[in-house]
C-alpha cells in the first residue's frame, strides 16, 4: 500500500475545463456537487482507502522568524500568492494507477450546467519509512 496526497487548489492549478465560480451555479447544481463530494469520501472509507481529508480557509499568512528576542515576521493574508491550496485528501492505495483513477473520479465532480468540472488535482506520493526487506 502507498499513501498519496490529492491536493485541490484555490489558485495555481491549470484552469479547469468547466471553470465557473460555484456561486454562479444553479442551486441544484451546488447540491449535486456537494453530494458527490460527500459520497466520494464515504465510498473510499468503505473500500478501506480513505485516510484523511481536510479543507483549508483561503485566508492565512506567511510567517518567518526574525531572530532571537524579536516577534516573528508575518506577511499576508496571501494577496499575491500564485498558489493557494484549498484542501486535501490522503488515500492509501495499492498502486499509482489506483491513485490516478481516484483523482480522476474526484476531478469529475459535477459543476455548472450539471457537467463535470474536470479540474486539475495535484497527486503526490508520500515518502515513507525504509522497508524491512531491502534485498
- The footprint of another protein (CB under 8 A) covers 21-27, 29-31, 34-35, 38, 55, 57-59
Q: How far is the CB of 26 from another protein (least distance, A)?
A: 6
Q: How far is the CB of 56 from another protein (least distance, A)?
A: 11
Complex with another protein: residue 24 or 134, whichever CB lies closer: 24
Q: How far apart are CA 105 and CA 101, in angstroms?
A: 6
Contact yes or no for 40/117 (Cβ under 8 A): no
Complex with another protein: residue 1 or 55, whichever CB lies closer: 55
Q: How far is the CB of 55 from another protein (least distance, A)?
A: 6
The count of residues in the chain is: 135
Complex with another protein: residue 25 or 50, whichever CB lies closer: 25
Q: How far apart are CA 31 and CA 115, in angstroms?
A: 13
Complex with another protein: residue 33 or 49, whichever CB lies closer: 33
Burial of 47-78, coded b for 16+ CB within 10 Å and e otherwise, reads eebbeebeeeeeeeeeeeeeeeeeeeeeeeeb
Q: How far is the CB of 121 from another protein (least distance, A)?
A: 18
Amino acid at each position: 500500500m502507498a499513501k498519496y496526497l490529492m491536493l485541490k487548489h484555490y489558485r495555481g492549478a491549470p484552469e479547469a475545463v468547466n471553470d465557473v465560480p460555484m456561486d454562479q451555479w444553479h442551486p441544484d447544481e451546488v447540491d449535486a456537487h456537494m453530494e458527490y463530494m460527500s459520497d466520494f469520501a464515504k465510498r473510499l472509507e468503505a473500500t478501506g482507502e480513505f485516510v484523511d481529508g481536510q479543507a483549508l480557509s483561503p485566508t492565512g499568512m506567511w510567517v518567518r522568524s526574525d531572530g532571537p528576542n524579536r516577534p516573528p515576521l508575518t506577511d499576508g493574508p496571501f494577496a499575491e500568492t500564485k498558489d493557494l491550496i484549498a484542501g486535501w485528501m490522503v488515500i492509501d492505495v495499492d498502486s499509482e494507477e489506483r491513485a490516478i483513477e481516484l483523482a480522476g473520479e474526484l476531478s469529475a465532480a459535477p459543476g455548472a450546467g450539471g457537467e463535470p468540472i474536470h479540474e486539475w488535482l495535484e497527486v503526490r506520493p508520500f515518502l515513507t519509512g525504509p522497508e524491512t526487506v531491502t534485498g
